[in-house]
A and B are shown apart, each in its own frame.
Chain A
Amino acid sequence: MSPILVGVKRVIDFSVRVRVKPDGSGVMTDGVKMSINPFDEIALEEALRLKERNLAGEVIAVSIGPSDAQQQLRTALAMGADRAVLVQVDAPVEPLTAAQVFLKLVQKHQPQLVILGKQAIDDDNGQTGQMLAALWDRPQATFASKLELDGERAQVTREVDAGLETISIDLPGVVTTDLRLNEPRYIKLPDIMKAKKKPLDIIKLSELGVTPPAAPIRTLKYEAPAARSRGVMVKDAAELVAALKQRGVL
């Protein structure tokens, strides 16, 4: 059975209150907790469930990032991924480059499905899955909250602004996960031990034959957002209505 490729991006943990560096060159990362992008945990969980139902072969976790991203890949292996690939690169890559990397790995591993997150919660770009699908010339089913495989096809329910939409796609294809697709499992201690023995290959971006664009989209500076100031406290519903009237809202 064909494998499933899953994206595992190393990001600042969702619970961290991210702060901009005073010189505007980036955000503070020293001593900050790093995790698997939450949408990627959901992607991995979905792949594992498909494998457990004998609907898929190997689950391959892929991270593009610094050497430290091995930590997140080890976590992915402990969750149940069969193997991991780190495409090592020191500077962050933009989604188009990430999509080119995934395309190379798709050509190598011939998966039936690539499951990525709908967005990485650091750059909040939400682009990589759609870009991969375009480069691969295959279907995309974004913001998935339900995925059913049926032979050569998948039926995917998508969370859209107006409610839910269901589409049917031919495989292979790309699915991006929304929050309600599943609840990722917790890792048990023995799994962490087992994960140490699973294969984790490290390849360089250049070895894959992918070069980041000569003229990338450049980030010129980081700024803290305009802060909202703390308002007034009222003691009951009547005071609340009065305060709303005073602000001209009612």
Chain B
Amino acid sequence: MSKVLIIAEHFQGKLNPSTAKCVTCAQGISGADIDIVVLAVDAAAVAKEAAALAGVKRVLRLERAENAEALAAVWAPQVAELARGYSHVFGPSTTFGKDLMPRVAALLGVGQVSDVMTVESAQRFRRPVYAANAIITVEVPAAGIVVATIRMASFQPAGGGGHASIEPAQVTAKLPTHTRFVARSAANADRPDLQTATRVVSGGRALASAENFKILYGLADALGAAVGASRAAVDAGYAANDLQVGQTGKIIAPELYVALGISGAIQHLTGIKDARTIVAINKDSEAPIFEVADIGLVGDLFQIVPELERLIRAR
């Protein structure tokens, strides 16, 4: 029988919704037991949240002073040690999971399946390659542990109402001291989170300056939306790096995605393919973004966006 261990992603005592999405993915393996491990100095609050997720059997508290920051080099040996009792180890395909999970896989001597989008069976998964221009079905050999990262845009978070048991866990792994946390900075802490937002308004190179980029915020506020950006807008310094949407940025699946002055390069489209409704405003009627847009509007965004904001607020 399958036993899945999910590595909880959390920050400042709060569970990241990515963990609940991993639970949904794990439920795709029929009859699997699902455990979540919380690595922290004090895991109590996060463990409680995790234990309430529907379908979870046990939540393990792995508490050590060294776990204050999610340093992959420090966490991986602990996860690898716990993983030996499981058939599957899942982490989210967020920067947290992408950093940690391959290190865990290598310590276990197995390959990793990145960005699982569907579970076909306990050993068989579908995942995107070539900026999601192809979807492959892969089969992991039955002999080893399956280590995978889970694509966030492909799963809904598991619901609440669960009553998992919460238990302490211990490992004997020797932890390295060669990696130290120094600092973090968040540019957009007061705005809706891009990865979980149901609506997103994104801007591209066309915005032409950081100052201009702010006109997006008015529209985003009117819609209750998070703000995103193309790589070109981030590279040019109009928007912060954590707003980049695409193959090498964030892959998102909002109900509504509004692309303003974004041409629709392959790498950008990879990030928005799962959006329910895509709206594109671009002055070039030939822009590739219109090939995927559900609603397209050809015109100058500097004229259209203020008008659109006014109409939405007046609604």
Contacts and interface: CB of A to CB of B under 8 A. Distances in A.
Interface of A: 12, 14, 17-20, 27, 39, 94-96, 99, 118-119, 121-135, 137-143, 145, 155, 158-170, 173, 178-180, 213, 215-225, 228, 230-241, 243-244, 247, 249-250
Given A231-B294, A241-B312, A244-B277, A168 B111 contact: no
B242 A131 contact: no
Contact of A221 (B136, B144, B296): B136
A223 B134 contact: yes
Q: Nearest 7 CB-CB pairs, A to B?
A: A215-B141, A231-B294, A134-B106, A130-B102, A163-B186, A131-B106, A127-B102
Nearest to B182: A166
Contact of B176 (A139, A158, A166): A139
Contacts of A161: 94-96, 195, 242, 250
B315 A241 contact: yes
Given A131-B102, A223-B134, A241-B308, A94 B111 contact: yes
Interface hub of A133, A164, A232, A240 (most chain B Cβ within 10 A): A240
B134 A159 contact: no
Secondary structure at the A interface, as helix, strand, loop or mixed, is mixed
Contacts of A169: 178-180
Given A130-B99, A138-B178, A222-B134, 9 more contacts: A14-B267, A134-B107, A142-B95, A168-B182, A173-B178, A221-B137, A222-B136, A224-B133, A234-B297
Contact of B129 (A123, A170, A173, A244): A123
Interface stretch (B50-58, B59-67, B68-76, B209-217): B68-76
A142 B115 CA distance: 17
Interface in B167-194: 176, 178-189
A150 to B, nearest CB: 12
A97 to B, nearest CB: 9
Interface in B111-157: 111-115, 124, 128-141, 143-144
Given A94-B111, A161-B250, A233 B255 contact: no
B180 A167 contact: yes
A124 B115 contact: yes
Interface string B239-278: 0111000011010000110000000001100000100111
